[in-house]
């Protein structure tokens, strides 16, 4: 299936993560789904596939516990529920992230307190987090954006100093490494997504990981309506949804997990090749990666300098799109705190909960507090990426970038 919207033969259709062209489904997934169906057991409370997926994922992460759930957003909600903040307490997070990370905080009655990001890595830093710490801070939630690890030593040192648990949103960062250690295993809880566009996918799905028995127990319960499966006198111990993964999904997840290493290695190799090809293009900087870290390229981001390239990321993005490279200038367009849910505090009825409990400084979204965020969004150009890219795709993307920049200069 062609993804190009034009008949221009000079356009090379790129594999897309939204359909089979850019994904890795094969006989393994089909066999697994068939086996799950034939077993007649599609709930993970009784089946084997989801359980195996959890065991295998924990092993890959070198962690004690992994619990699968229905989405990355569910995983993040589960992580926040494990921390169990009091209503109105604050969880420090990032201004450039997926809404799933923020609704997770709000659903548990806590207030997202936004930290600014480094304009070159798009990630929160220990300094930007520290500026947000208050008496009400209950946890820190970092996002390893695009697959590039946050500077975890400094963040973990800070969190220890204030006795704050750290939740890592690894939805975009499967197998990314910070100084030789896997992200998701550095803080207290790691959260992953298996949504259609992630490194491996089941369409929708998620998983949480932890080495902490107390958090893992609470997460298992939260996913399961807090029903104490296996306990001598089980009950519904607290308020919790049904966030379970089903066995059809678990079967696909298990088959996809075997392909994770391939997916990541392919993405890294092709990304490094593109970096070589566009290294000397004026006004365009390739990803900033700390030495010793492994960026696993959920997407490949360019930093476009508008002082060099007239029209900056929007102009370059438009030209790339016209040539079939369906990139996203400015990524999420605006900082998360400018979304309607934050602007109008649309939550439960007309209560404004939990914003109505927040300290005023937690809701101060003045642009001057977020210079890194606005600079990052003004300059970032997000290229779609896939484990199915081949040399010819990279050559095409590289040439398209070089030619487009030359045309704009």
Rounded CA separation 214/220 (Å): 10
Torsion angle of C-alpha atoms 368, 373, 375, 380, degrees rounded to 10: -170
The C-alpha angle with vertex 174 and arms to 79 and 382, in degrees rounded to 5, equals 105
Residues that bind ligand PLP (CB under 6 A): 71-73, 97-98, 100-101, 143, 169, 171-172, 193, 195, 206
Smallest gap from residue 214 Cβ to ligand PLP (A): 24
Residues near 126 by Cβ (< 8 Å), separated by ≥ 6?
A: 151, 154, 155, 157, 158
Which residue in this structure is represented by tokens 């109008």?
344
Nearer to ligand PLP, 206 or 283 (CB): 206
198 assigned to active site: yes
Residues for the chain: how many in total? 409
Nearer to ligand PLP, 192 or 396 (CB): 192
Rounded CA separation 267/297 (Å): 6
Residue nearest to ligand PLP (CB): 72
Smallest gap from residue 204 Cβ to ligand PLP (A): 6
Nearer to ligand PLP, 72 or 317 (CB): 72
Nearer to ligand PLP, 146 or 370 (CB): 146
Other Cβ atoms within 10 Å of 191 Cβ, number = 32
The C-alpha angle with vertex 310 and arms to 309 and 314, in degrees rounded to 5, equals 90
Tokens of 128: 């930007």
Which residue in this structure is represented by tokens 């295993």?
185
Smallest gap from residue 119 Cβ to ligand PLP (A): 18
Nearer to ligand PLP, 68 or 278 (CB): 68
Smallest gap from residue 393 Cβ to ligand PLP (A): 23
Smallest gap from residue 39 Cβ to ligand PLP (A): 26
Q: Which entry of 51, 59, 198, 318 is annotated as an active-site residue? A: 198
Tokens of 14: 């790129």
DSSP state of 227: B
> What's the number of CA atoms in the CB half-sphere (13 Å) around residue 289?
23
Tokens of 328: 């996203």
Q: Which residues are known to be catalytic? A: 198
């Amino acid at each position: 299936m062609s993804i190009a919207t034009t008949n221009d033969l000079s356009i090379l259709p790129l594999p897309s993560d939204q359909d089979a062209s850019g994904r890795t489904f094969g006989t393994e997934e089909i066999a697994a789904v068939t086996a799950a169906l034939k077993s007649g057991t599609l709930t993970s409370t009784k089946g084997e596939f989801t359980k195996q997926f959890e065991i295998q994922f924990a092993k890959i992460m070198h962690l004690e516990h992994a619990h699968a759930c229905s989405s990355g957003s569910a995983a993040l909600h589960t992580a926040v529920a494990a921390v169990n903040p009091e209503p109105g307490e604050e969880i420090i997070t990032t201004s450039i992230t997926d809404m799933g990370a923020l609704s997770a905080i709000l659903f548990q009655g806590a207030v997202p307190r936004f930290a600014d990001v480094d304009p070159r890595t798009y990630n929160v830093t220990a300094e930007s987090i520290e500026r947000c710490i208050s008496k009400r801070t209950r946890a820190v939630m970092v996002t390893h954006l695009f697959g590039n690890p946050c500077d975890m030593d400094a963040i973990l040192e800070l969190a220890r100093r204030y006795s704050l648990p750290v939740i890592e949103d690894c939805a975009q960062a499967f197998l990314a490494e910070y100084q030789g250690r896997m992200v998701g295993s550095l803080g207290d809880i790691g959260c992953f997504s298996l949504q259609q566009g992630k490194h491996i996918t089941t369409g929708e799905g998620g998983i949480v990981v932890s080495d902490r028995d107390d958090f893992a127990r609470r997460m298992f319960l939260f996913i399961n309506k807090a029903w104490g499966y296996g306990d001598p006198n089980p009950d519904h111990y607290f308020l919790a949804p049904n966030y379970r993964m089903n066995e059809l999904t678990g079967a696909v997840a298990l088959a996809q997990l075997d392909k994770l290493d391939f997916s990541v290695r392919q993405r890294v190799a092709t990304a490094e090749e593109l970096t070589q090809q566009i290294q000397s293009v004026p006004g365009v900087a390739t990803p900033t990666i700390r030495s010793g870290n492994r960026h696993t390229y959920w997407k490949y981001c360019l930093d476009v300098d508008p002082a060099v390239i007239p029209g900056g990321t929007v102009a370059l993005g438009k030209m790339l799109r016209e040539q079939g490279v369906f990139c996203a200038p400015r990524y999420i367009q605006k900082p998360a705190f400018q979304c309607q849910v934050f602007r109008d505090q649309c939550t439960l009825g007309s209560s404004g909960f939990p914003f109505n409990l927040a300290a005023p400084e937690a809701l101060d979204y003045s642009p001057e507090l977020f210079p890194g965020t606005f600079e990052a969004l003004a300059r970032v150009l997000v290229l779609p990426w896939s484990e199915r890219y081949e040399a010819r795709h990279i050559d095409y993307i590289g040439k398209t970038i070089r030619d487009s920049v030359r045309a704009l200069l």
